[in-house]
Amino acid sequence: MEKMTSKERVLTTFANQEPDRVPINYSANPGIDRRLKDHFGLAANDGDGLMQTLGVDFRSVGAPYSGPQLHEDIPERGVTVDNMGIHRRRVEHETGGYWDYCDFPLREADEETVANWPMPSPDNFDYSDVPGECDRLKQYAINGSGGYGDIINGNGMLRGMEQTLVDLITEDPAGMLLADRRMELQIEKTRRILEVAKGKIDSIWFGEDLGTQIAPIISMDILKKQIRPRYQKYCDLAKAYDVYVMIHTCGSSSWAYEDFIEMGIHVVDTLQPEAANMSPEYLKKQFGGRLAFHGCISTAGPVATGSVEETINYCRHTLDVMKPGGGYCFSPTHALQDNSPTENVVAMYQVAAEYGRY
């Protein structure tokens, strides 16, 4: 088959057709990202060089924040606070570290407090570089999402996970208002990015964690009543601008995929194969040809815990199942973790480049 550009390769796959090879994507924590750059002799800040080396077909454009600082850090406690008011502190572990969420300042907030909580306006972002970045990256598949959505995790960062789940069950006005304020900002920001890009963006990407490893987090009733209507606005926006929609859903989430198809979602991301009803075989049989897939290479499986040979065999098996007929993008299920041996990750991407050809 004639070699495709990255953009052609991804768009062919999103349309559930066979490209010249499976598209490749990359996401990693800082520790393994730095080790990969060292392995390939790249500078610590050369992210684009690493993606080119790994054969990554995806790129993103966005609008950086240009408004005033809305919340103050708490340096005496080592807490950083972003412009949504989310509190984070650094938690180190033996192979690296994470910025973990803490304090949950809106946990006990009422509706009035949420309504007055300082948040950015869509006017507080700089959209001027989007057209030029689209031109610079025109050979790649470009994502132009202006926000992740994510009612459960996103609200949980401010309300706490327990209160967020209670909000969904009880329809607490404060929690639902917080979800709506956050999503209205992100959807309008996405609209403005799509508008200034003038047809040069290929997809938007959002997410909602819907499952544990063994079961759904929420009921189908809550999905249909609270989650689906809010995300339908993202889907309607994508349809208006003729771009693909990809949704990130961790854990056991295939129970929601029929609804995704009805909503106009084209691609499902993460695909943690160890979770219930998320194996490559199950997904391909149940949804192949109706949804495209992005992910399925577990960050908790052989890539992190096995040998190079086990990693190669694991990645080849996933491709054997998912590749036929098209509709599959090779990607880690989440960010590659710092406990992943460098040689395993290198082998993973070598398999994708070589064995992923049609």
Per-residue model confidence (pLDDT) at position 2: 87
Please report which confidence band the pLDDT of residue 96 belongs to, taking 50, 70 and 90 as the band edges.
confident
Q: How many CB atoms lie within 10 A of CB 110?
A: 12
CB atoms within 10 A of CB 241: 17
Distance CA 349, CA 346 (A): 5
3-state secondary structure of 347: helix
DSSP letter for 340, please: S
Cβ atoms < 10 Å from Cβ of 189: 22
Q: b/e for 247-268, b at 16 or more Cβ within 10 A?
A: bbbbbbbbbbbeebeebebbbb
Per-residue model confidence as pLDDT tens digits over 220-238: 999 999 999 999 999 999 9
Q: Which residues contact 48 (CB under 8 A, 6 or more apart)?
A: none
pLDDT in tens, 314-338: 999 999 999 999 999 999 999 999 9
d(CA 36, CA 293): 25
**Helix residue ranges per DSSP H, the chain:** 6-14, 30-39, 47-54, 111-116, 130-136, 151-159, 161-170, 173-197, 220-222, 228-240, 257-263, 280-287, 302-305, 308-322, 342-355
Closest to 151 (Cα-Cα) out of 240, 217, 70, 102: 217
Amino acid residing at 124: N
Give the per-residue pLDDT at 324: 97
Percent of the chain with pLDDT strictly greater than 70: 100
Confidence of residue 165 (pLDDT cuts 50, 70, 90): very high
The string of pLDDT tens digits covering residues 55-73 is: 999 999 999 999 999 999 9
pLDDT at 49 over 90: yes
Phi, psi of 31 (to 5 degrees): -65, -55
Checking if the pLDDT of 192 tops 90, the result is: yes
pLDDT of residue 63: 98
DSSP 167-200: HHHHT-HHHHHHHHHHHHHHHHHHHHHHHHHTT-
Give the DSSP per-residue string, 59-96.
EE----B-S---S--BGGGTEEE-TT--EEEEEEETTE
pTM over 0.85? The answer is yes
Q: Is the dihedral of CA 106, 191, 9, 30 positive or negative?
A: negative
Going from the C-alpha of 73 to that of each of 23, 86, 248, 283, 338, the distances in angstroms are 40, 10, 30, 44, 27
Please list, in sequence order, all residues whose beta carbon lies within 8 angstroms of the beta carbon of residue 136, skipping any fewer than 6 positions away: none
Angstrom distance (rounded) from CA 246 to CA 207: 8
* Domains of the chain and CATH, by start: 6-66+107-114+121-355 (3.20.20.210)
Q: What tokens appear for 312 in the block?
A: 């190669």
Confidence label for 94 from pLDDT (cuts 50, 70 and 90): confident
Over residues 140-150, mean pLDDT: 95
Question: Residue 356, SS3?
Answer: coil
What's the pLDDT at 297?
Answer: 98
CB 175 within 8 A of CB 167: yes
Per the CB < 8 A criterion, the answer to whether 204 and 242 are in contact is no
Spatial CB neighbours of 252, under 8 Å, sequence gap ≥ 6? 210, 211, 212, 213, 214, 215, 216, 272, 275, 276, 277, 278
Q: What is the DSSP letter of 256?
A: G
